């Protein structure tokens, strides 16, 4: 039986209503294309020829199928052009539409262009950028802050306040060649420092997993002196479980059977342990720490007071790899420096969240030499350099001489010819090398005006020929010298014209635990 006109009309109306309910077909083809373009623009997937990013056809690509991108056969051969192409096409970061095109780098910067190209390749392949902390690190910090805030009444908001220290720590740990860290802020790590440390470890684990690298378990080994400290660190790591980072605490406060069962139930990325319980489990072959990537020793001075330094050395020897080591310690004891040297063998970076001069100048020895007359300074400098050569025998030392102005720096550089040493001048500036039968010394002469452009942290020894008019400038030099070695020396020559600096300089020496010269006491007694 044929359908009537009413049935056919109802059927056509259903089809029309269905078509109208479809967002793509409810409008014309032109309006639908505009809607689709807007969606792509909001999602960050717009085409190269849309919006403000125009790409014109070229003879090599007349139909604009590449959207302005270079093909592999058209890759530039020059290092500088290749770097510019990578930065333009391979950088995953969004650029503002109004951003001007950056000029090309100089043709001579081949090393820099190569580094940019390699970094861009890593970022393009794995989404990893080692120039700055990732968003995941901030997520970890926020998780710790939100979990700890109810316990301390909201005082944990200062976790982000230690940002400068935390970023420096992240740079040391996340670099392609990680640097060991020696923190001299206090006897042990604070809550903020621990939060930054474990968040940095989380960030490194996430980056390695994104690159398809195998992450060893445990990745982080956190050594603590007591059960109370282990519980504190464990409470900071616990909020990271929801982000896929598991942590286990090993201490004498719990039965060893319970801890063995916990280790068998999961493979923790973070391990917080006291030395005694950790070595007991390692000797029983319950856990393997040979592949640990990060080692933290929280409170080196406390371990020395507990007479467990031999256990710390045993833990370090049980790690067959070359882990990145972070040590928190109080620098007041000289024996701490000796033990730190035995544990840290590579390049180190000294950090401190404390702004005090005594904390930032930890392990730096200060010497003040008396030279009454200005014209005798050159002879005094020669004498001090000879003493440095003898005290650092069989070693290459880097020495920085600081003069008052450029003229004095040039005169000092030209007149330094020791009788027992051979001096080789450098044509590139006021720098030279001193050779003797006992050692080698690389000397650089700078004036106080241009010293800000010099990386003082690379020098182990600094000789201040002309004291600055303010003791604050002296403290600035003192707090940044020898940042990458345990130890360092700051020598200064004191003349009669520097008498106003006697009292403030003596205070700095006393705060840093240095010996105040006897002639300072006589100068303080003399009437001005």
Q: If we measure between CA atoms, which residue out of 265, 137, 144 comes closest to residue 204?
A: 137
Length reported for the chain: 528
Structure-token pair, residue 337 = 């420096």
CB 313 within 8 Å of CB 275: no
Q: If we measure between CA atoms, which residue out of 236, 149, 247 comes closest to residue 196?
A: 236
> For residue 334, with 0-12 CB atoms within 10 Å meaning exposed, 13-18 middle and 19 or more buried, which class applies?
exposed
Per-residue pLDDT tens listing for the chain (528 residues): 466 888 888 888 888 887 766 644 456 667 777 777 777 766 665 555 544 455 667 777 776 666 556 654 444 444 434 333 333 344 444 444 444 444 443 333 343 334 334 433 443 444 445 567 788 898 999 999 888 876 555 544 567 667 789 999 999 998 888 999 999 988 899 999 999 999 999 999 998 888 888 888 899 999 999 999 999 999 999 999 988 899 999 999 888 888 888 888 888 899 999 999 999 999 988 899 999 999 999 999 999 999 999 999 999 999 988 899 999 998 887 789 999 999 998 889 999 988 889 888 999 999 999 998 888 888 898 889 888 888 887 677 788 989 888 888 888 877 775 544 555 544 445 666 766 666 677 888 888 888 878 888 889 899 999 999 899 999 999 999 988 888 889 999 999 888 889 999 999 999 998 988 888 877 765 554
Owner of token pair 């005290």: 391
Q: Which residues pair with 247 in a beta bridge?
A: 270
Taking the C-alpha atoms of residue 66 and residue 34, their distance in angstroms, rounded to an integer, is 22
The crossing angle, in degrees rounded to 10, of helices 227-237 and 135-152 is 120
Taking the C-alpha atoms of residue 362 and residue 350, their distance in angstroms, rounded to an integer, is 9
Structure-token pair, residue 236 = 């900071």
CB 368 within 8 Å of CB 518: no
> For residue 147, with 0-12 CB atoms within 10 Å meaning exposed, 13-18 middle and 19 or more buried, which class applies?
middle
Q: If we measure between CA atoms, which residue out of 446, 445, 424 comes closest to residue 433?
A: 424
Query: 289: number of CA atoms within 13 Å, CB side?
Result: 26
SS3 130: coil
Taking the C-alpha atoms of residue 407 and residue 430, their distance in angstroms, rounded to an integer, is 11
Tell me the pairing of strands 431-435 and 440-447.
antiparallel
Taking the C-alpha atoms of residue 203 and residue 167, their distance in angstroms, rounded to an integer, is 12
State the greatest distance between any 2 C-alpha atoms of the chain, in Å, as a whole number. Answer: 129
Measured over the CA atoms of residue 88, residue 91, residue 94 and residue 96, the dihedral's sign is: negative
Taking the C-alpha atoms of residue 16 and residue 435, their distance in angstroms, rounded to an integer, is 95
Q: If we measure between CA atoms, which residue out of 226, 189, 222, 190 comes closest to residue 305?
A: 226
Owner of token pair 């020793």: 297
- Produce one character per residue of 227-244: b if its CB has 16 or more CB atoms within 10 Å, e if not: bebbebbbbbbbbbeeee
CB 87 within 8 Å of CB 120: yes
Q: For position 88, what pLDDT does the model report?
A: 39
Q: If we measure between CA atoms, which residue out of 187, 140, 181, 448 comes closest to residue 301?
A: 187
Model-level pTM? 0.70
Strand order from edge to edge, sheet including 348-351: 247-250, 270-273, 220-223, 294-298, 324-328, 180-183, 348-351
* Residue 65 CA: distances (Å) to CA of 5, 49, 350, 518: 51, 10, 53, 82
Taking the C-alpha atoms of residue 258 and residue 281, their distance in angstroms, rounded to an integer, is 12
CB 211 within 8 Å of CB 205: no
Q: If we measure between CA atoms, which residue out of 128, 47, 138 comes closest to residue 93?
A: 128
CA angle, residues 388, 390, 392, in degrees to nearest 5: 65
Tell me the pairing of strands 422-425 and 431-435.
antiparallel
Tell me the pairing of strands 324-328 and 247-250.
unpaired
């Amino acid at each position: 039986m044929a359908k009537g006109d009413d049935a056919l009309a109802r059927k056509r109306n259903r089809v029309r209503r269905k078509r109208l309910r479809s967002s793509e077909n409810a409008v014309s083809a032109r309006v639908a294309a505009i809607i689709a373009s807007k969606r792509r623009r909001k999602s960050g997937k717009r085409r190269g020829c849309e919006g403000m990013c125009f790409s014109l056809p070229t003879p090599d690509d007349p139909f604009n199928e590449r959207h302005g991108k270079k093909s592999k056969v058209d890759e530039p051969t020059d290092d500088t052009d290749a770097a510019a192409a990578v930065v333009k096409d391979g950088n995953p970061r969004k650029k503002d539409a109004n951003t001007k095109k950056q000029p090309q780098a100089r043709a001579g910067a081949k090393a820099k262009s190569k580094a940019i190209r390699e970094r861009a390749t890593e970022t393009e392949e794995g989404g990893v950028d080692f120039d700055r902390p990732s968003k995941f690190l901030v997520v970890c910090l926020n998780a710790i802050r939100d979990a700890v805030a109810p316990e301390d009444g909201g005082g944990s908001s200062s976790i982000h306040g230690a940002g400068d220290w935390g970023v420096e720590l992240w740079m040391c740990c996340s670099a392609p060649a990680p640097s060991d860290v020696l923190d001299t802020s206090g006897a042990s790590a604070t809550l903020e420092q621990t939060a930054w440390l474990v968040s940095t470890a989380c960030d490194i684990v996430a980056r390695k997993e994104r690159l398809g690298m195998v992450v060893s378990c445990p990745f982080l080994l956190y050594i603590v002196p007591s059960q109370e400290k282990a519980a504190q660190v464990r409470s900071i790591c616990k909020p990271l479980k929801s982000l896929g980072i598991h942590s286990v605490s090993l201490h004498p406060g719990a039965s060893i059977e319970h801890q063995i069962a916990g280790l068998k139930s999961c493979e923790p990325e973070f391990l917080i342990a006291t030395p005694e319980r950790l070595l007991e489990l390692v000797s029983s072959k319950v856990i393997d720490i040979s592949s640990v990537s990060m080692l933290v020793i929280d409170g080196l001075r406390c371990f020395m007071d507990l007479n467990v330094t031999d256990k710390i050395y045993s833990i370090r020897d049980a790690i067959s790899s070359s882990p990145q080591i972070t040590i928190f310690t109080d620098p007041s004891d000289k024996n701490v420096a000796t033990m730190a040297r035995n544990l840290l063998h590579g390049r180190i970076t000294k950090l401190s969240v404390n702004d005090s001069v005594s904390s930032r100048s930890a392990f730096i020895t200060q010497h003040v030499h008396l030279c009454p007359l200005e014209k005798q300074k050159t002879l005094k400098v020669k004498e001090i350099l000879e003493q440095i050569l003898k005290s650092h025998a069989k070693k290459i030392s880097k020495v920085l001489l600081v003069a008052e102005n450029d003229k004095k720096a040039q005169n000092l550089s030209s007149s330094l010819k020791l009788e027992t040493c051979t001096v080789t001048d450098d044509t590139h500036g006021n720098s030279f090398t001193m050779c003797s039968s006992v050692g080698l010394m690389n000397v650089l002469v700078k004036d106080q005006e241009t010293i800000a452009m010099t990386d003082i942290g690379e020098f182990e020894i600094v000789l201040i020929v002309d004291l600055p008019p303010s003791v604050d400038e002296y403290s600035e030099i003192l707090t940044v010298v020898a940042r990458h070695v345990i130890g360092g020396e700051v020598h200064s020559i004191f003349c009669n014209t520097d008498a106003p600096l006697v009292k403030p300089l003596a205070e700095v020496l006393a705060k840093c635990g240095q010996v105040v010269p006897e002639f300072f006491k006589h100068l303080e007694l003399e009437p001005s």
